[in-house]
Structure 1
Amino acid sequence: MGAAMARNLQRHLAAQKAPNMLYCNRTMSRGDALKPLGGVPEPSFERVVAECGIIFTMVSNDAIHNNLMTTALGHSSGLKNKIFVDCSTIHPHTVGFTATKLQERDASFLAAPVFGGHPIAVDGKLVFALGGPRRAADAVRPLIQDVMGRRVIECGEDATRASLLKIAGNIVTVNMMEAVGESQVFAERSGLGTGPMEELISEAFGAVAGGYSKRLTSGAYAPPLDSRPGFGVSLAIKDADHAFAMANEHKVELPGLQVAQDNMVAAREYAGECLDSSSMYGILRQKAGMEFWNEKSRKGN
């Protein structure tokens, strides 16, 4: 998803005749599609920090985020007036710690997690939650609105609120995947069929729910081992863990999320890491007396 966002941002920069993007990734070849658009590869994140006034990051977990921020904070030339914009799903405590450390160096931190899958990112139609200092948010918003996203939800000057909104949104997302999976297993097992069920889901409950259904019926919940899942099951489990941590802190129960989490963990134990976040569907199939794999998944085709 980050690659699609970066392409849209670089297209915008080129159209505005602004300086080209410097991009960095652990696997630099994943940014090759940016080169024809004018993107400039830079293997050193420290060099990116030195050269850029606005630095977007999107990583898979809190530990990688912390490593990047440690690198940035160790930058010897200073960070004054630089703006860091993190689009990852990370814990609010991590966000708060990072914001404080950067503020001590006269830099700003914005939490800008995103809602939407890869196809939505390609179309530049993501929804962003944006939290952090107003001046920094005003500077960054034109790089998001109608560039990488269709909507920016303002979360105020406390960056942790954007992170909290993302975690709350993920509760809806994971529960919806579980509900779609349950309904499709019911439809198949009862003889109704997944086709009519998918049509109903799409028409009655919208494109997002319909997209989740297509992950199941297309077999994308368990893609080939030489491919990348749309959104890896371990990332979804990590996101759910953040929700449980915050719920425990505020004495809130999340029974629906617990069911979905248990099924995701069971799916990973059964079929390994190369699974989509919707792979709880495979466990639901097993519980209904069917194979984990449907005919279009990696072991069914």
Structure 2
Amino acid sequence: MGLGMSLNLQKYLLANGLPPLRYCNRTLSKGHALHEIGAIPEHGFEDVVQNSDVIFTMISTDDVLMELLTKALATGDSLKGKIFVDTSTIHPDTSEWAAQRLSKFGSTFVAAPVFGASPVAATGKLIFAMAGPAKATETVRPLIMNIMGRSIIDMGEDVRKSSLLKISGNVLVISFMEVIAEAQVFAEVTGIGSHQLEDFIGNMFGPVLASYSNRITSGAYAPPLETAPGFAAALACKDMKHALSIAASHNTNLPTLETASSRLNSARDYAGEHLDSAAVYGIGRMEASLPFWIALDSS
């Protein structure tokens, strides 16, 4: 996700004669494609912060973001006037923590989680849910629209709201996957046919849900080791944990998500971490006395 977004941003900066993007990553070599088009690698997040006015982050867990911002905060007064834009899926409490801590040093936090998978990021068509102080969001908007994203959902100034919308969106995404997985298991055990059901899903509900079904029928729920999963199971489980805890704190429940969480964690126990969120299907198959894996037609 982050690489696709960064490539599009660097291309925009280059085309408009603006200073190049500065970037860092735990594995810096993964940014080689950025370096090839003029972006500048930095060995640490602190270096990126010191040499930038607007800092975008795309991270895997809340702990990683808190660690990075703590490093930035250690630089003290030099943070004044800087804007930090996080595009990850994090708990609203983490967004609030970031906003409060950064404001004490004269900098601003913008919560801007994105909707869309890696291929969407590569084409610059992500949807951003953005919240933060108006002056900061207006500064950031030109770096997003028609560069990294096709639209921005304005969530106002409360950064918690963006995080909540993103988590709500993932409730839908994962629940859709769970329901489609259940229907595909039903199609197999009853002899309807997986591909026939997928044709119906596409015709009835459109290409997005058809693509979810294809992650099942193509075997992408358990991709080859050299292929990255579309929505990694570990990340999906993290997002579900956030959603379920927030729901419980508001005296409501998410039964479909509870089922998906149980199945996806079981899939991780059974088949390891190199799984897509669609691996709920594998456990659904096992519950129906079918193998976790599917046999793909190689013809």
> What TM-score comes out, normalization by structure 2 length?
0.96
Residue in 2 that maps onto 1:207: 207
Instruction: Provide the aligned length of Structure 1 versus Structure 2.
Output: 299
Equivalent residues of 1:80, 1:106 under 8 A apart: yes
Q: Following TM superposition, by how much is the alpha carbon of 1:121 offset from its aligned partner in structure 2, in angstroms?
A: 1.3
Equivalent residues of 1:267, 1:279 under 8 A apart: yes
Residue in 2 that maps onto 1:283: 283
SS of match in other structure, 1:129: strand
Residue in 1 that maps onto 2:29: 29
Counterparts of 2:142 and 2:292, CA distance in 1: 45
Residue in 1 that maps onto 2:142: 142
1:202 aligned partner, one-letter code: G
Counterparts of 1:42 and 1:137, CA distance in 2: 25
Q: Following TM superposition, by how much is the alpha carbon of 1:223 offset from its aligned partner in structure 2, in angstroms?
A: 1.1
1:275 aligned partner, one-letter code: L
Equivalent residues of 2:83, 2:109 under 8 A apart: yes
Is the aligned partner of 1:117 residue 2:122? no
Counterparts of 2:9 and 2:198, CA distance in 1: 34
Q: Following TM superposition, by how much is the alpha carbon of 1:296 offset from its aligned partner in structure 2, in angstroms?
A: 3.6
Equivalent residues of 2:81, 2:108 under 8 A apart: yes
Residue in 2 that maps onto 1:167: 167
SS of match in other structure, 2:206: helix
SS of match in other structure, 1:295: coil
Residue in 1 that maps onto 2:238: 238
Residue in 2 that maps onto 1:133: 133
1:27 aligned partner, one-letter code: T
Q: Following TM superposition, by how much is the alpha carbon of 1:231 offset from its aligned partner in structure 2, in angstroms?
A: 1.7
Structure 1 runs not aligned, ≥5 long: none
Q: Following TM superposition, by how much is the alpha carbon of 1:77 offset from its aligned partner in structure 2, in angstroms?
A: 5.3
Q: Following TM superposition, by how much is the alpha carbon of 1:273 offset from its aligned partner in structure 2, in angstroms?
A: 0.6
Equivalent residues of 2:219, 2:294 under 8 A apart: yes
Is the aligned partner of 1:7 residue 2:11? no
Equivalent residues of 1:50, 1:77 under 8 A apart: no
When the two chains are superposed, the root-mean-square deviation of aligned CA atoms in Å is 1.6
Q: Deviations over 1:206-254 (max 9, x none)?
A: 2221111111111110012343222210110000000011111111111
Residue in 1 that maps onto 2:20: 20
Moved over 2 A (4+): 225-228
Equivalent residues of 1:286, 1:292 under 8 A apart: yes
Range 210-219 or range 196-205, more displaced: 196-205
Equivalent residues of 2:99, 2:159 under 8 A apart: yes
Q: Following TM superposition, by how much is the alpha carbon of 1:177 offset from its aligned partner in structure 2, in angstroms?
A: 0.5
Residue in 1 that maps onto 2:265: 265
SS of match in other structure, 1:229: coil
Residue in 1 that maps onto 2:98: 98
Residue in 2 that maps onto 1:89: 89
Counterparts of 2:271 and 2:170, CA distance in 1: 23
Structure 2 runs not aligned, ≥5 long: none
Equivalent residues of 2:77, 2:105 under 8 A apart: no
Counterparts of 1:203 and 1:81, CA distance in 2: 50
Counterparts of 1:261 and 1:250, CA distance in 2: 19
Q: Following TM superposition, by how much is the alpha carbon of 1:257 offset from its aligned partner in structure 2, in angstroms?
A: 0.7
Range 212-221 or range 194-203, more displaced: 194-203
Percent identity, aligned pairs only?
48
Q: Deviations over 1:93-123 (max 9, x none)?
A: 1110110010111100000001111121111
Counterparts of 2:122 and 2:60, CA distance in 1: 19
Residue in 2 that maps onto 1:43: 43
Counterparts of 1:296 and 1:65, CA distance in 2: 39
Task: Map 1:212-231 to 2 at 5 A.
Answer: 212-231=212-231
1:40 aligned partner, one-letter code: I
SS of match in other structure, 1:253: coil
Equivalent residues of 1:220, 1:276 under 8 A apart: yes
Residue in 1 that maps onto 2:73: 73
Counterparts of 1:144 and 1:249, CA distance in 2: 33
